[in-house]
């Protein structure tokens, strides 16, 4: 680690293989917590590169007990968190809508970070298991197009990293890398990022991780979701090329709402919001999910345009397909607990 630390301190970027070697030494506990903290601080001070982020993400994935290459054409729509918006569980709700439209979603998530209730909290309240084993996860993804991958359950080797992060109390590469560490091999991805300046870099990182197509987005008000409050900033990765652009909800025939209209609450309140949306109740929550699910379908490529993605999302809800995905996941969870 010392040679890599010195290189980073000297403002030199690490090649992807060097970053992998450095990350492996952290998992193998060949370095002290102090050295790990120094490395994370030095990376932040220098500024992380797509190769460095991708190298770290690949090692985290390889260390997961649930690394899977069996499934094809899988996507995730997990965001970084960290925007401080206290919104309801937008990406979690949108994941069921995307799955209802025919896309396989390996939904990566955790407990609360920047909202009052994280994806794991609300899904647990709805009867979804947080402890799927690899074979169970693959089975339900194959049968139902959606499964939930609870980060602490699938990344048990990350405890040491989390301790150092907590001791540092400053943002590091780990504030950005969560959505990139899904152990399922992803073909496409829609990722909300709390830092607008990092969008092109996250898109480039996803290219290095093998994504065929992906979108990194920062919403109006600097949300790590698409927002109806105004202009959204996106970086689209398509076949190796990154394109940066903005989109306003009015361009997609959607209404404008301030972000305060989509505040969430505790697990019970957010579960109620999720169910109301999947049952088609109109309003700011519903329209926000239409926007995020529609852009997710466009990121996947099943929708040729953002508008057609929103139409597909609307049909997924209206047909009951999105709600059925939730019910089947809850039934599968119950079967596991009983069996």
Binding residues: 79, 82-83, 87, 89-92, 107-115, 119, 165, 224-225
Given the DSSP bridges, would you call strands 104-109 and 146-150 parallel, antiparallel or unpaired? Answer: parallel
Annotated binding site for anthranilate: 79, 110, 165
Annotated binding site for Mg(2+): 91, 224-225
Q: Cα torsion at 270, 271, 276, 280 (round to 10°)? A: 100
Annotated binding site for 5-phospho-alpha-D-ribose 1-diphosphate: 79, 82-83, 87, 89-92, 107-115, 119
Q: Could you tell me if 292 and 94 are in contact, meaning their C-beta atoms sit under 8 angstroms apart?
A: yes
Does residue 72 sit in helix, strand or coil? coil
Query: What are the Cα distances from residue 175, in Å, to 28, 40, 76, 80, 299?
Result: 22, 11, 17, 7, 22
Residue whose tokens read 């955790």: 110
Q: Could you tell me if 297 and 98 are in contact, meaning their C-beta atoms sit under 8 angstroms apart?
A: yes
Query: What are the Cα distances from residue 323, in Å, to 31, 53, 175?
Result: 47, 35, 31
Residue 179: partners with Cβ closer than 8 Å, 6 or more residues away: 76, 78, 79, 80, 108, 189, 191
Residue 264: how many CB atoms within 10 A of its CB? 21
Q: Is 256 exposed, middle or buried (0-12, 13-18, 19+ CB in 10 A)?
A: middle
């Amino acid at each position: 680690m010392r040679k890599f630390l010195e290189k980073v301190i000297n403002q030199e970027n690490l090649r992807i293989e060097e970053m992998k070697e450095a990350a492996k030494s952290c998992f193998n506990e060949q370095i002290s917590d102090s050295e790990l903290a120094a490395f994370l601080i030095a990376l932040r001070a220098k500024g992380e590169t797509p190769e460095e982020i991708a190298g770290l993400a690949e090692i985290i994935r390889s260390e997961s007990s649930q690394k899977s290459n069996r499934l094809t054409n899988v996507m995730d729509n997990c965001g970084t968190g960290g925007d401080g918006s206290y919104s309801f569980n937008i990406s979690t709700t949108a994941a069921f809508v995307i799955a209802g439209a025919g896309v396989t979603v390996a939904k990566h998530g955790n407990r609360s970070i920047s909202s009052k209730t994280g994806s794991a909290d609300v899904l647990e309240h709805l009867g979804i298991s947080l402890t799927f084993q690899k074979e169970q996860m693959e089975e339900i993804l194959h049968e139902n197009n959606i499964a939930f991958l609870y980060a602490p359950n699938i990344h048990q080797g990350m405890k040491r990293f989390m301790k150092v992060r907590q001791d540092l109390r400053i943002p590091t590469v780990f504030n950005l890398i969560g959505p990139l560490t899904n152990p399922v091999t992803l073909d496409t991805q829609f990722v909300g990022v709390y830092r607008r300046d990092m969008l092109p870099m996250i898109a480039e990182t996803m290219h290095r991780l093998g994504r065929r197509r992906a979108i990194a987005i920062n919403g109006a008000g600097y949300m790590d979701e698409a927002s109806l409050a105004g202009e959204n900033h996106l970086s689209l990765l398509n076949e190796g090329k990154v394109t940066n652009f903005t989109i306003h909800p009015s361009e997609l025939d959607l209404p404008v709402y301030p972000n305060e209209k989509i505040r969430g609450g505790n697990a019970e309140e957010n579960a109620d919001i999720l169910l109301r949306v999947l049952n088609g109740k109109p309003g700011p929550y519903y329209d926000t999910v239409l926007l995020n699910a529609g852009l997710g379908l466009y990121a996947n490529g099943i929708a040729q345009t953002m508008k057609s993605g929103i139409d597909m999302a609307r049909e997924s809800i209206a047909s009951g397909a999105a709600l059925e995905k939730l019910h089947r996941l809850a039934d599968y969870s119950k079967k596991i607990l009983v069996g």
